[in-house]
Amino acid sequence: MDTATTVNNTAVQVSTVDVPVKIYTQSLCFYYRRQKVLHDISLQLPANQITAITGPSGSGKSTFLMVLNRLWEEVEGCDISGKVTMELAGHFKNIHDPTLPVCELRRKVAMVFQQPNPLPMSIYKNIAFPLRLAHVNDKKRIKENVEFVLRQVCLWDEVKDRLGDDGRLLSGGQQQRLCLARALVLNPEVLLLDEPTSSLDPEASNAIEELLLTLKSQCTLVMVSHYQDQIQRIADFHIKVLNGRFSTGLDWRGDCNQNS
C-alpha cells in the first residue's frame, strides 16, 4: 500500500496518481451530549472509488457515515463543528448550506445500515416509496425501476412472486439486499455502507461485492467493514479510525487497478 501525500482542491494525489475528490471534511468534530466522539477530522474521499473505513468497535465509524448525509440531525443531543463539502450535481457544496434541503442531500447520499431496516410495507412499496417521494408517478417507470434494482442486488428471482408480501417477512440477508436496492433506486451519487454484507451468506456476499465494484462507475462508495479480506478484495482506499481520530492520509491499494 502507498500513502497519500498531497492534497489540493480538486484531487487527492496518491504517489503519482491524481484522483478527483468527491467529499472534503475540514476540522470536523462530532459530539453526543457534549462527549466528543470525532476529533478534528480533515480528509478527502476520492470520487468513484470504494473507500473502506476500519477501526475498533465504538471508534466512530458509523457516526462518521451519519455525518455525511446529516442523519445525525435526527438523533437528540448531537452537535457538530467543522465543515463537510461535497461535489453534488457537478458543484461543490457545504452540505449544511441552507440552500441544500436535507431531503435533497439524502436523495443524493444514500445509506445502507448494519441492521437492515425495511419499511413496514410490501417488498414492492419498499422500493417504490423513495421514487414516489421524489415525485416519480409514472407507474410503468416505477415498475421497471423496482425490477431493475431488485435484479441488481440479486433479489428479483427470490421475491418476484411475492412482491406484495411485507418486506419485514424476508430473511435478514434478503432484507439487507432489499435495503440496498432501496438505496440504489434514486441513483445516488454517494453510497454510504455500514457493514453491508454482515448479515449475508458467502454467496450473497460475493454477489454484493461484485455489485459494489460495478457501482463505482456511477457513484462514490464509503464503506465501513470489519472484514480485512473484503477490503483487500474490493476497496481502493483505506482509512483507519481509532478513538474518533482518523489516520491522516488515505492508504491506497497499490493494486487498485485490478478493481477498476
Ligand X SMILES: Nc1ncnc2c1ncn2[C@@H]1O[C@H](COP(=O)(O)OP(=O)(O)OP(=O)(O)O)[C@@H](O)[C@H]1O
Cell numbers at 145, concatenated: 425501476
3 state DSSP class of 153? coil
Tell the smallest beta-carbon distance from residue 59 to ligand X (Å). Answer: 4
Q: Among residues 55 and 249, whose Cβ is nearest to ligand X?
A: 55
Nearest Cα residue to 201 out of 175, 181, 170, 173? 173
Tell the smallest beta-carbon distance from residue 200 to ligand X (Å). Answer: 17
Q: Among residues 67 and 149, whose Cβ is nearest to ligand X?
A: 67
Tell the smallest beta-carbon distance from residue 114 to ligand X (Å). Answer: 6
Q: Among residues 64 and 124, whose Cβ is nearest to ligand X?
A: 64
Tell the smallest beta-carbon distance from residue 105 to ligand X (Å). Answer: 20
Nearest Cα residue to 42 out of 58, 57, 21, 59? 21
Residues that bind ligand X (CB under 6 A): 32, 37, 55, 57-63, 75
Q: Among residues 50 and 149, whose Cβ is nearest to ligand X?
A: 50
